[in-house]
Structure 1
Amino acid sequence: MVVALARKKIYEEIADIILSEIKSGKLKPGDKLPAITKMAESYQVSQASIREALNSLKVLDVIHVKHGQGSFINEQMPLGFEQNFEIITKADIANLLDLRKIIEVGCVRAACEKAEAHHHERMAEALGKMWTAVENNELGEQADYDFHMAIAVSTGNPLLANLLEDVSETMIRTMKETRRIWLYETEKSIQKIYDEHKLIFEAIKNEDAEAAAKSMYDHLKGVEDVLLTNY
């Protein structure tokens, strides 16, 4: 039996090469990568492919970009760096946010009807951790995920929580990237993200399904706009 193997896209191959050079020590923490034009010439690919490869590595938390200076290898690699990474594409992000808008807008409506006091406490705890992150100028992506998961759990439907768990790794990565963009690449503060979550929480406590659904949709649409504009 002959099995057809999926061919990797060019940007994935470039990203893999850079990852291999980091793991082998050829590229070291803090090193600056060559300019996009030079990399395109060196690998004999388009500049667009180089940009997409760099964007993928940025989402993976392997490199960071300093405006006007270039791309640099992070001083610390993410957990599990020795394992194979799944490259996250712009299309993956768009699909994830579409899924979240469908699932989570419904979740907050159900939460307004079914959430009990202990569910509110779990949401408030996650919200408190998000505020601590704001005060400490940290990203707080785990607390962000915990808040959304608390809402899903409060619906009483385990399938909704399971759906979010299935995409949890990608959710946390995109949450981290959204917060990094807000904190380091714009003049706005990540407190805006906290404020959006607070509005969602207050609507759920007040059992205002329309306000909760609108607040959740507006939040996720804002995340989508930030990521797809800057990715």
Structure 2
Amino acid sequence: MTQHFTPVSSGARLSDQVAEQLAAEIKQGRLQPGDKLPTEARLVEQFQVSRTVVREAVSRLKSLGLVDSRQGSGVFVNNQLPFAPLNFEAQLAASEEAVIQMVEVRRALEAEVAGLAAQRRNAADIRAITQAVKALDAAVQAGHNGVDEDMKFHRAIADAARNPFLIQTLEYLGQFLRGVTQVTRANEARRVDFAKQVQSEHQAILEAVQAGDAQLARQAAATHMGNAIVRIRCADPVFWQQEGERLAQPLVKGVKRHNS
């Protein structure tokens, strides 16, 4: 499979950002044990960084036990990774309850992430979060589902929290959370009042982080996720029959690929 990476920019150290994206590919199963990493030249091109940054990132992955160099062959994902993949497959189903349970997981994580972001954010972080909100609003205005933009909004807040363990946890869960986000956004798009609520909740999180109010940011993020659960419970059986299963399929497929 060909990997496509997002160019990195200001904020956290460039090498850390590159390492995090590569680690996410491994932890989410898109780079399997024994797979060869893209060449150094390819990584430089995709991430739009120097060779030094790429080498520092790969060195970090080596120190974590995720990859190993083979002289004359390149860098490969270790056959025995230093972590065991979580097995969500038995719990996952295209159902209201499964989606709600995953949103509950998000609520626990996102609230703390928002609180830390409020304490640690800088001007660049605020610009990134603000831009993510604008991009999400623009996507909705254009009639798109906004899933990618929604994920980027929450990732921008996570970056501002500056806790690599929280970021890596969210990256691992990303394979499941994306499917959940597809379901919640499809449900919210059915009603104008839902869409306006989501927009208002995102703005509240941004303003709390911008103000540096950790308690308010935690409350705003928790409220956003709690309201997402309320909105999901408002979805009628027809929605789950026609949309829920179809939208949740990538979530289940991602788990099967990861655990195979």
Q: TM-score range by the shorter chain?
A: 0.5 to 0.7
Partner of 2:138: 132
Give the drift of 1:212: 1.2
Identity %: 21
Give the drift of 1:216: 0.8
- The residue correspondences of 1:1-231 to structure 2 (distance < 5 A) are 87-184=93-190, 186-230=191-235, 231=240
What SS does the aligned partner of 2:193 have?
coil
Q: Distance in 1 between matches of 2:222 and 2:133?
A: 18
Work out whether residues 102 and 180 of structure 2, in 8 Å CA contact, stay in contact via their aligned partners in 1: no
Give the drift of 1:87: 4.2
Q: Distance in 1 between matches of 2:181 and 2:221?
A: 15
Task: Tell me: CA distance 1:139–1:123, structure 2 relative to 1, closer, same or farther (3 Å).
Answer: same
Residues 207-216 or 87-96, more deviating? 87-96
Residue identity matched to 1:177: V
Give the drift of 1:207: 0.6
Residue identity matched to 2:212: E
Work out whether residues 119 and 212 of structure 2, in 8 Å CA contact, stay in contact via their aligned partners in 1: yes
Q: Distance in 1 between matches of 2:161 and 2:174?
A: 18
Give the drift of 1:189: 4.9
Q: How many residues align?
A: 145
Work out whether residues 134 and 191 of structure 1, in 8 Å CA contact, stay in contact via their aligned partners in 2: no
Task: Tell me: CA distance 1:199–1:187, structure 2 relative to 1, closer, same or farther (3 Å).
Answer: closer
Q: Distance in 2 between matches of 1:110 and 1:194?
A: 22
Q: TM-score, normalised by structure 1?
A: 0.57
Give the drift of 1:172: 2.1
- Structure 2: which 5+ residue stretches go unaligned? 1-91, 241-260
Residue identity matched to 1:108: A
Q: Distance in 1 between matches of 2:142 and 2:200?
A: 16
Give the drift of 1:220: 0.3
Q: Distance in 1 between matches of 2:198 and 2:121?
A: 22
Partner of 1:60: none
Give the drift of 1:145: 0.8
Give the drift of 1:111: 0.7
Return structure 1 stretches of 4+ with deviation > 4 angstroms: none
Larger relative contact order (CA 8 Å, sep ≥ 6) = 2
Give the drift of 1:178: 1.9
Give the drift of 1:134: 2.7
Q: TM-score, normalised by structure 2?
A: 0.51
Give the drift of 1:187: 4.7
Q: Distance in 2 between matches of 1:191 and 1:229?
A: 16
Residue identity matched to 1:131: D
Task: Tell me: CA distance 1:154–1:187, structure 2 relative to 1, closer, same or farther (3 Å).
Answer: closer
Give the drift of 1:210: 2.0
Deviations 1:45-96 (A, max 9, x none): xxxxxxxxxxxxxxxxxxxxxxxxxxxxxxxxxxxxxxxxx74443432321
Q: Distance in 2 between matches of 1:197 and 1:188?
A: 14
Work out whether residues 153 and 160 of structure 1, in 8 Å CA contact, stay in contact via their aligned partners in 2: no
Deviations 1:163-191 (A, max 9, x none): 1111213222222222222222x352523
What SS does the aligned partner of 2:162 have?
coil
